[in-house]
Amino acid sequence: MKSVAIIGAGITGLTAAFYLKRKGVSVTVYEASGRVGGVIQSLRKDGYLAEFGPNTLLETSPKIGQLVRDAGLQSRRLDPDPSAEARYVVRYRRPVEMPAKPLGFFTTELFSLKAKLAVLREPFIKPRRDGVEESIAQFVVRRFNQEFLDHAIDALVAGIYAGDPYKLSVTHAFPKLKALEDNYGSMIKGQLLGGRERKKRGEVAKDRAPKFSFDEGLQVLPDVLATQLGDAVKLYTPVTRMLETDDHWTVHTQGVNGESCAKHGAVIFCGTASKLAELKIAYSQRPNVPLELSAFAEIRYPPVASVVLGFRREDVAHSCSGFGMLIPKIEGFKILGTIFSSSLFPNRAPAGHHTLTSYIGGERYPELASLPAEKLYEIVCEDLRVLLGVRGQPTFQHCVFYPHAIPQYNVGYGRFKDLMNVVEAQAPGFFLAGHYRDGVSLSDSILSGINVADRVAGILQPRMDTDKHG
C-alpha cells in the first residue's frame, strides 16, 4: 500500500496525518524542528501557563469539535469563563469596551456621531462591481469612513494578521466581508440577512463562533495527535528535495544522521510558504525542469514577538475582565494588543495574579519584534502602565520571537493561489495545504488539514485498490 508523506508537523500536517491514518492510509510526518505544533506553543512554568502562538481555537465548523472528540480530548477541552466576553478597543489612550449589542453602538464613546451616521448610511452605498481588487482600508473608507478604519478596522487587522490595512486584500484576507457586499449589496444588510444561510451550511461566523482551549493550553492538541501517530512523526527531519517518477515520490530528508530518502504515493506540503519556495522538486512530465516554486518567497510573513507577563492583581488597576484589548496605530502605543489570558481561562495564573499576553511587531513595527527580551518586557510594561494601570515589576516574564509569523494575504494574493493550483496540476500527487492557502486562523488550518486528507484519500483509494489486486 502506498504511503503519504506529510511535510510539517504544525496543526495542518498533524490533522491531515491523523485523519489519513484513520482511513487506513500509512503516513510519515517529516518535521524540520525538534517539536510538534508549529506556531502553537504553550509553556507551563511557576504556576503560569503562557500561550505564545494562538490563544484560542474557534469552533467555526462542527468538524473542529469532531476532531477534539476523535482525538479523545473532550474531557480536556476548556471553555472560556462566560464573564470574559468583553472586548476592548483603545480610544483616547484607554481601553473602551466594545458594545455587545447592536443598540450599544449608538451610545458607545468609541465612535463620533459622524462615524455612527456612516454606519447608518452603509446599506445605501452602491456595491462596487467593476472587479477591481481593493485593500481592506479602501473598502472600509468607501463603505463607512476614515474614522471607522483608523479606530476600529486597523485594530482588528492588527489582531488577526498583525497586518497593514492598506496592503491586505479585502477579497483574500476578508472574503466573507467582500461576499456580503457582493451578495447583499451591503455589509449591514448581509449581516442581518445572511445568518440563516450560514446556519443552513452549518457554518458559524468567526465573531460568533465558540472559542476554547485545553487544560494545559493549545499545545495539548498537536501533542496528543502526535502521540497517536507514534513513530510516524519524524522530528529534526527537514525535507530538502523531491523527485516524482513512475507514480511515486522520492522524498529526500536531511536528518541528524545525514541525508536519506523514502518512497511515497503522495506528498502533502503543510509548512510555510517561504519554506515551500526553498524546496527542489523534479517531476516526470519535465524531468530536467524543476517545479518553479521560488515565487512563494514573495509571500510576506512579518515578524511578531509574543510577550507573556504575570502581575499581582493588586498591581493592576484595570479589572482585566474580558477577552482583551485591541490597539489602533493612531493611539500611539507600541504593542498591537493584549489578551487577558487569565480572565479567559482562570488556570493560566496562580491565585491572585493576572497573565497578560501582548504582541509586538507585525507590519506596524516589524523592527521592534526582534529586540532583546529585556527591551521587549520594558516596552510592554510601559504601555500596560498607561493602558491598564500596571505598577511594579512582573512576577513572570517570558517571550517568543516568531521571525515569520502570519502570511499577509495582500492585494494581488490571487496570483499565489493560482500558482498553487498550477503546481498541483503539474505535479500529480503533490498537494498544498495550510495557513498560506486556506486562511490564517487555527480553525482554517485544521479544516485545511481535514480537507486535504479527504482529497488525498480520494486519489489514493483507486491506486491502493490496484496495489492490492496487482
Ligand X SMILES: Cc1cc2nc3c(=O)[nH]c(=O)nc-3n(C[C@H](O)[C@H](O)[C@H](O)COP(=O)(O)OP(=O)(O)OC[C@H]3O[C@@H](n4cnc5c(N)ncnc54)[C@H](O)[C@@H]3O)c2cc1C
Tell me: does residue 402 bind ligand X (CB under 6 A): yes
How far from 5 is each of 30, 31, 239, 264, 276, CA to CA, in Å? 7, 11, 10, 6, 15
Tell me: does residue 291 bind ligand X (CB under 6 A): no
Tell me: does residue 217 bind ligand X (CB under 6 A): no
Which one of 80, 165, 190, 238 is in contact with ligand X (CB under 6 A)? 238
Q: DSSP assignment of 202-248, as one string?
A: T---TTTS-EEEETT-TTHHHHHHHHHHGGGEETT--EEEEEEETTE
Choose the stretch contacting ligand X; rule: CB under 6 A; options: 16-24, 31-39, 281-289, 369-377. Answer: 31-39
Which one of 239, 344, 349, 376 is in contact with ligand X (CB under 6 A)? 239
Instruction: Please tell me the distance from the alpha carbon of residue 153 to that of residue 140, in angstroms, as a whole number.
Output: 8
Instruction: Please tell me the distance from the alpha carbon of residue 188 to that of residue 111, in angstroms, as a whole number.
Output: 17
Residue 457 neighbours by CB under 8 Å, 6+ apart: 20, 23, 25
Give the binding-site size for ligand X (rule: CB under 6 A).
37
- Shortest distance (Å) from residue 58 CB to ligand X: 6
Instruction: Please tell me the distance from the alpha carbon of residue 75 to that of residue 72, in angstroms, as a whole number.
Output: 8
Tell me: does residue 243 bind ligand X (CB under 6 A): no
Q: Which string of b and e fits 3-35 if b means at least 16 CB within 10 Å?
A: bbbbbbbbbbbbbbbbbbbeeebebbbbbbeee
Tell me: does residue 156 bind ligand X (CB under 6 A): no
Cβ distance 327 to 155 under 8 Å?
Answer: yes
Cβ distance 341 to 355 under 8 Å?
Answer: yes
What strands, in cross-sheet order, belong to the sheet with 280-282?
258-264, 248-255, 239-245, 280-282
Tell me: does residue 275 bind ligand X (CB under 6 A): yes
Choose the stretch contacting ligand X; rule: CB under 6 A; options: 4-12, 148-156, 255-263, 387-395. Answer: 4-12
Which one of 80, 271, 324, 361 is in contact with ligand X (CB under 6 A)? 271
Instruction: Please tell me the distance from the alpha carbon of residue 131 to that of residue 302, in angstroms, as a whole number.
Output: 28
Instruction: Please tell me the distance from the alpha carbon of residue 40 to that of residue 384, in angstroms, as a whole number.
Output: 25
Which one of 376, 405, 452, 460 is in contact with ligand X (CB under 6 A)? 405
Tell me: does residue 362 bind ligand X (CB under 6 A): no
Choose the stretch contacting ligand X; rule: CB under 6 A; options: 25-33, 67-75, 92-100, 105-113. Answer: 25-33
**Residue ranges in 306-325 that form contacts with ligand X under rule CB under 6 A:** 306
Instruction: Please tell me the distance from the alpha carbon of residue 163 to that of residue 364, in angstroms, as a whole number.
Output: 7
Hey, what amino acid is at 375? K
Which one of 138, 171, 445, 451 is in contact with ligand X (CB under 6 A)? 445
Choose the stretch contacting ligand X; rule: CB under 6 A; options: 37-45, 75-83, 171-179, 180-188. Answer: 37-45
Which one of 5, 6, 7, 158 is in contact with ligand X (CB under 6 A)? 7
At 452, which helix (H) or strand (E)? helix 442-469
Choose the stretch contacting ligand X; rule: CB under 6 A; options: 24-32, 98-106, 194-202, 413-421. Answer: 24-32
Which one of 5, 18, 28, 31 is in contact with ligand X (CB under 6 A)? 31
**Per-residue x/- track, 379-398, ligand X (CB under 6 A):** --------------------
Instruction: Catalog residues that contact ligand X under the rule CB under 6 A.
Output: 7-13, 30-33, 38-40, 53-56, 58, 238-239, 270-272, 275, 304, 306, 402, 405-406, 434-435, 440-443, 445
